[in-house]
Amino acid sequence: MIKSILGVSLLLISSCSTFKKEIVKCPPITSPKGSQEIIAKSENAISTYMGLRDVTFTCYSNRADIDMTVFVNIRSIRNNIKDDDYVPIIISLVSIDKENKEYDRDQFSYSQFLLNNNKTIDRKTKMNVDVPFNGKVYIGLKQN
């Protein structure tokens, strides 16, 4: 009985190495013109700069396509810092195939909180998208 349990345990432990993800080269990632930086209106109607900063990504092969994980920092800069405020935005991460058809999308809609007495505010967000081999990826911001 103990030999059976040990045998099954060793089999499970040795098979864990087959679940290791293979890191692959990431497909090109770009922002459509005018979507990497925007001037958005806050809820108090104040113009606020919003921009993509420090975009990092890792890609893994899952045989059918590429799993892409993206960490993106959204930076807000405003001149009027005396009040708390919010800026509603949408971040989109979209993959396309070689025929330029949408393959997958990860979209995140939220209100960026702007704390009073802070001119610059950063928020890091994790996003994921499946990308076909020979595909491309686009990332961008827009006012919600």
Give the pLDDT score at 76. 87
Q: Are 76 and 42 in contact (CB under 8 A)?
A: no
Three-state secondary-structure class, residue 15: helix
User: pLDDT tens digits for 62-103?
Assistant: 888 999 999 999 988 888 777 888 889 999 999 999 999 999
pTM of the model: 0.79
Give the pLDDT score at 84. 80
Give the pLDDT score at 114. 76
Domains of the chain and CATH, by start: 21-143 (2.60.40)
